[in-house]
Structure 1
Amino acid sequence: MTDDDPFADLGETLEDEPDDQTQDTKEASESAATEENPPQEEVKQRNPMIDTAFSYEAAKQRPFYAREETIEEFDSWLKYELERDLNRQGYQNIVVREMTDALLRTVVEEDLVEEVAERFEQARGPASSESDE
Protein backbone atom coordinates (compact mmCIF):
# COMPACT_ATOMS: atom_id res chain seq x y z
CA MET A 1 0.00 0.00 0.00
CA THR A 2 1.29 3.45 -0.85
CA ASP A 3 0.49 6.72 0.87
CA ASP A 4 -0.91 8.12 -2.38
CA ASP A 5 -3.47 5.36 -3.00
CA PRO A 6 -4.83 3.53 0.05
CA PHE A 7 -6.56 1.00 -2.23
CA ALA A 8 -3.53 0.20 -4.40
CA ASP A 9 -3.04 -3.26 -2.89
CA LEU A 10 -6.73 -4.21 -2.98
CA GLY A 11 -6.33 -6.19 -6.22
CA GLU A 12 -3.48 -8.20 -4.72
CA THR A 13 -5.54 -9.00 -1.61
CA LEU A 14 -8.44 -10.28 -3.68
CA GLU A 15 -6.15 -12.34 -5.89
CA ASP A 16 -4.53 -13.90 -2.80
CA GLU A 17 -7.82 -15.45 -1.55
CA PRO A 18 -7.67 -19.24 -1.49
CA ASP A 19 -9.48 -20.97 -4.35
CA ASP A 20 -11.34 -23.31 -1.99
CA GLN A 21 -13.19 -20.37 -0.41
CA THR A 22 -14.31 -19.23 -3.84
CA GLN A 23 -15.35 -22.80 -4.69
CA ASP A 24 -17.38 -23.08 -1.45
CA THR A 25 -19.18 -19.86 -2.31
CA LYS A 26 -19.97 -21.12 -5.82
CA GLU A 27 -21.26 -24.45 -4.48
CA ALA A 28 -23.45 -22.70 -1.90
CA SER A 29 -25.01 -20.42 -4.50
CA GLU A 30 -25.58 -23.34 -6.90
CA SER A 31 -27.19 -25.32 -4.09
CA ALA A 32 -29.48 -22.43 -3.21
CA ALA A 33 -30.44 -21.98 -6.87
CA THR A 34 -31.34 -25.67 -7.11
CA GLU A 35 -33.51 -25.51 -4.00
CA GLU A 36 -35.30 -22.38 -5.23
CA ASN A 37 -35.86 -23.75 -8.75
CA PRO A 38 -36.73 -27.44 -8.58
CA PRO A 39 -36.37 -29.47 -11.77
CA GLN A 40 -39.21 -29.00 -14.25
CA GLU A 41 -40.53 -32.52 -13.71
CA GLU A 42 -41.35 -31.69 -10.06
CA VAL A 43 -43.39 -28.59 -10.95
CA LYS A 44 -47.09 -29.36 -11.10
CA GLN A 45 -48.60 -28.45 -14.44
CA ARG A 46 -51.43 -25.91 -14.20
CA ASN A 47 -54.78 -27.01 -15.62
CA PRO A 48 -56.52 -23.92 -17.06
CA MET A 49 -59.92 -25.59 -16.80
CA ILE A 50 -59.59 -26.02 -13.01
CA ASP A 51 -56.79 -23.82 -11.66
CA THR A 52 -57.36 -20.10 -11.19
CA ALA A 53 -55.38 -17.65 -13.32
CA PHE A 54 -53.91 -15.87 -10.32
CA SER A 55 -53.96 -16.24 -6.56
CA TYR A 56 -56.00 -14.26 -4.08
CA GLU A 57 -52.74 -12.73 -2.83
CA ALA A 58 -51.95 -11.43 -6.33
CA ALA A 59 -55.25 -9.54 -6.46
CA LYS A 60 -55.73 -6.05 -5.11
CA GLN A 61 -59.17 -5.32 -3.78
CA ARG A 62 -60.35 -1.81 -4.57
CA PRO A 63 -63.68 -0.34 -3.59
CA PHE A 64 -65.87 1.09 -6.25
CA TYR A 65 -69.05 3.01 -5.71
CA ALA A 66 -72.21 2.56 -7.71
CA ARG A 67 -75.94 2.65 -7.17
CA GLU A 68 -77.44 -0.37 -5.44
CA GLU A 69 -79.52 -1.22 -8.51
CA THR A 70 -76.43 -1.21 -10.74
CA ILE A 71 -74.49 -3.43 -8.32
CA GLU A 72 -77.38 -5.90 -8.12
CA GLU A 73 -77.61 -6.06 -11.92
CA PHE A 74 -73.85 -6.50 -12.17
CA ASP A 75 -73.78 -9.27 -9.55
CA SER A 76 -76.66 -11.03 -11.29
CA TRP A 77 -74.97 -10.75 -14.69
CA LEU A 78 -71.66 -11.97 -13.28
CA LYS A 79 -73.18 -14.99 -11.53
CA TYR A 80 -75.97 -16.02 -13.86
CA GLU A 81 -74.60 -15.03 -17.26
CA LEU A 82 -70.80 -14.95 -17.28
CA GLU A 83 -70.14 -17.66 -14.70
CA ARG A 84 -72.77 -19.95 -16.23
CA ASP A 85 -71.27 -19.45 -19.70
CA LEU A 86 -67.76 -20.19 -18.44
CA ASN A 87 -69.07 -23.28 -16.65
CA ARG A 88 -70.71 -24.51 -19.86
CA GLN A 89 -67.32 -24.16 -21.54
CA GLY A 90 -65.91 -26.55 -18.93
CA TYR A 91 -64.24 -24.15 -16.51
CA GLN A 92 -64.38 -25.07 -12.84
CA ASN A 93 -63.42 -23.23 -9.66
CA ILE A 94 -64.54 -19.91 -11.16
CA VAL A 95 -63.84 -17.04 -8.78
CA VAL A 96 -65.13 -13.47 -8.84
CA ARG A 97 -61.64 -11.93 -8.93
CA GLU A 98 -60.91 -13.62 -12.27
CA MET A 99 -64.19 -12.54 -13.83
CA THR A 100 -63.77 -8.97 -12.55
CA ASP A 101 -60.19 -8.86 -13.84
CA ALA A 102 -61.34 -10.07 -17.27
CA LEU A 103 -64.10 -7.47 -17.31
CA LEU A 104 -61.74 -4.60 -16.45
CA ARG A 105 -59.19 -5.78 -19.03
CA THR A 106 -61.93 -5.95 -21.65
CA VAL A 107 -63.03 -2.37 -20.99
CA VAL A 108 -59.44 -1.13 -21.29
CA GLU A 109 -58.26 -3.34 -24.16
CA GLU A 110 -61.37 -2.83 -26.27
CA ASP A 111 -61.05 0.92 -25.67
CA LEU A 112 -64.65 1.35 -24.61
CA VAL A 113 -64.18 5.01 -23.70
CA GLU A 114 -67.02 6.21 -25.93
CA GLU A 115 -69.45 3.59 -24.64
CA VAL A 116 -68.62 4.32 -21.00
CA ALA A 117 -68.78 8.08 -21.60
CA GLU A 118 -72.19 7.63 -23.21
CA ARG A 119 -73.49 5.77 -20.12
CA PHE A 120 -72.04 8.49 -17.91
CA GLU A 121 -73.78 11.18 -19.94
CA GLN A 122 -77.06 9.25 -19.88
CA ALA A 123 -76.92 9.09 -16.09
CA ARG A 124 -76.19 12.81 -15.81
CA GLY A 125 -78.88 13.82 -18.25
CA PRO A 126 -78.61 16.58 -20.82
CA ALA A 127 -75.80 18.94 -19.87
CA SER A 128 -77.47 21.99 -21.33
CA SER A 129 -80.84 21.77 -19.49
CA GLU A 130 -79.63 22.84 -16.03
CA SER A 131 -76.89 25.21 -17.14
CA ASP A 132 -79.33 27.26 -19.27
CA GLU A 133 -81.66 28.02 -16.36
Structure 2
Amino acid sequence: MNYWLVKSEPSSYSWDDLVEKGEDVWDGVRNYQARNFLREMEKGDLVYFYHSGKEKAIVGLAEVSEEAFPDPKDSDWVAVKIRDKKKLKKPITLSQIKSEDLLSEMLLIKQSRLSVMSLTKVEFDTIQKMCV
Protein backbone atom coordinates (compact mmCIF):
# COMPACT_ATOMS: atom_id res chain seq x y z
CA MET A 1 0.00 0.00 0.00
CA ASN A 2 1.09 3.54 -0.78
CA TYR A 3 0.14 6.77 0.95
CA TRP A 4 -0.65 10.15 -0.59
CA LEU A 5 -1.76 13.69 0.04
CA VAL A 6 -3.85 15.74 -2.38
CA LYS A 7 -4.37 19.47 -2.06
CA SER A 8 -7.23 21.66 -3.14
CA GLU A 9 -8.39 25.21 -2.53
CA PRO A 10 -11.73 24.70 -0.73
CA SER A 11 -13.40 27.44 -2.77
CA SER A 12 -12.62 25.39 -5.91
CA TYR A 13 -13.16 21.87 -4.57
CA SER A 14 -13.50 21.02 -0.89
CA TRP A 15 -13.62 17.92 1.26
CA ASP A 16 -17.36 18.49 1.58
CA ASP A 17 -17.65 18.42 -2.22
CA LEU A 18 -16.03 14.98 -2.25
CA VAL A 19 -18.24 13.76 0.59
CA GLU A 20 -21.34 14.97 -1.24
CA LYS A 21 -20.34 13.00 -4.34
CA GLY A 22 -18.94 10.02 -2.42
CA GLU A 23 -16.48 9.33 -5.24
CA ASP A 24 -15.04 11.69 -7.81
CA VAL A 25 -12.39 12.12 -10.49
CA TRP A 26 -9.19 13.82 -9.30
CA ASP A 27 -8.21 15.62 -12.47
CA GLY A 28 -6.77 18.88 -13.72
CA VAL A 29 -3.24 18.16 -12.46
CA ARG A 30 -0.76 19.92 -14.74
CA ASN A 31 2.56 19.33 -13.01
CA TYR A 32 4.83 16.51 -14.21
CA GLN A 33 5.89 15.33 -10.76
CA ALA A 34 2.29 15.34 -9.49
CA ARG A 35 1.21 13.51 -12.66
CA ASN A 36 3.82 10.84 -11.99
CA PHE A 37 2.46 10.42 -8.47
CA LEU A 38 -1.06 9.97 -9.92
CA ARG A 39 0.32 7.24 -12.19
CA GLU A 40 1.74 5.42 -9.15
CA MET A 41 -1.54 5.39 -7.22
CA GLU A 42 -3.15 2.00 -6.78
CA LYS A 43 -6.70 1.08 -5.90
CA GLY A 44 -7.04 1.04 -2.11
CA ASP A 45 -4.16 3.45 -1.42
CA LEU A 46 -4.97 5.95 1.32
CA VAL A 47 -5.03 9.67 0.59
CA TYR A 48 -5.09 12.61 2.99
CA PHE A 49 -7.12 15.55 1.69
CA TYR A 50 -5.56 18.96 2.38
CA HIS A 51 -7.31 22.32 2.15
CA SER A 52 -4.85 24.89 0.81
CA GLY A 53 -5.41 28.66 0.81
CA LYS A 54 -6.45 30.25 4.09
CA GLU A 55 -7.22 27.00 5.94
CA LYS A 56 -3.93 25.12 5.31
CA ALA A 57 -4.97 21.87 7.01
CA ILE A 58 -5.50 18.18 6.40
CA VAL A 59 -9.24 17.70 6.80
CA GLY A 60 -10.11 14.20 5.59
CA LEU A 61 -9.01 10.74 4.58
CA ALA A 62 -9.91 9.26 1.19
CA GLU A 63 -8.88 6.23 -0.79
CA VAL A 64 -8.02 5.61 -4.42
CA SER A 65 -11.00 3.88 -6.03
CA GLU A 66 -9.73 3.80 -9.62
CA GLU A 67 -6.15 3.87 -10.87
CA ALA A 68 -4.77 6.32 -13.44
CA PHE A 69 -6.68 6.89 -16.68
CA PRO A 70 -6.57 9.70 -19.26
CA ASP A 71 -7.70 13.02 -17.80
CA PRO A 72 -11.17 13.73 -19.24
CA LYS A 73 -10.19 17.39 -19.75
CA ASP A 74 -6.89 16.66 -21.52
CA SER A 75 -5.88 13.12 -22.48
CA ASP A 76 -2.17 14.05 -22.44
CA TRP A 77 -2.49 14.03 -18.63
CA VAL A 78 -3.92 11.52 -16.14
CA ALA A 79 -6.55 11.41 -13.43
CA VAL A 80 -7.62 8.95 -10.74
CA LYS A 81 -10.84 8.43 -8.83
CA ILE A 82 -10.95 8.87 -5.08
CA ARG A 83 -13.70 8.24 -2.54
CA ASP A 84 -14.15 9.71 0.90
CA LYS A 85 -13.44 7.51 3.90
CA LYS A 86 -13.74 9.81 6.89
CA LYS A 87 -13.56 13.40 7.96
CA LEU A 88 -10.86 14.02 10.54
CA LYS A 89 -12.13 14.73 14.05
CA LYS A 90 -9.88 17.76 14.08
CA PRO A 91 -8.00 19.27 11.13
CA ILE A 92 -4.21 18.96 11.20
CA THR A 93 -2.84 22.40 10.42
CA LEU A 94 0.28 23.21 8.45
CA SER A 95 1.82 24.75 11.57
CA GLN A 96 1.23 21.49 13.48
CA ILE A 97 2.83 19.56 10.62
CA LYS A 98 5.85 21.87 10.57
CA SER A 99 6.32 21.50 14.33
CA GLU A 100 6.45 17.68 14.17
CA ASP A 101 10.02 16.38 13.71
CA LEU A 102 8.85 13.17 12.01
CA LEU A 103 7.23 15.29 9.29
CA SER A 104 10.16 17.62 8.61
CA GLU A 105 10.97 15.99 5.25
CA MET A 106 7.37 15.86 4.05
CA LEU A 107 6.87 17.08 0.47
CA LEU A 108 4.11 19.38 1.72
CA ILE A 109 6.85 21.38 3.41
CA LYS A 110 9.67 20.83 0.90
CA GLN A 111 7.65 21.27 -2.32
CA SER A 112 4.58 23.13 -1.17
CA ARG A 113 3.25 23.86 -4.66
CA LEU A 114 2.61 20.20 -5.54
CA SER A 115 -1.08 19.31 -5.59
CA VAL A 116 -0.46 15.55 -5.37
CA MET A 117 2.38 14.05 -3.36
CA SER A 118 3.55 10.84 -1.82
CA LEU A 119 3.81 10.20 1.91
CA THR A 120 6.03 7.72 3.65
CA LYS A 121 4.44 5.18 6.00
CA VAL A 122 6.01 7.06 8.93
CA GLU A 123 4.52 10.36 7.72
CA PHE A 124 1.10 8.78 7.21
CA ASP A 125 1.14 7.09 10.64
CA THR A 126 2.37 10.27 12.35
CA ILE A 127 -0.48 12.28 10.86
CA GLN A 128 -2.92 9.55 11.83
CA LYS A 129 -1.73 9.76 15.46
CA MET A 130 -2.13 13.55 15.39
CA CYS A 131 -5.80 13.13 14.42
CA VAL A 132 -6.77 11.40 17.66
TM-score normalized by the length of structure 2 = 0.19
Greater percentage in strand: 2
Of the two, which has the highest radius of gyration?
1
TM-score of the superposed pair, with normalisation by structure 1 = 0.19
Higher helix share: 1
Asked which structure has the greater RCO (Cα within 8 Å, sep 6+), the reply is 2
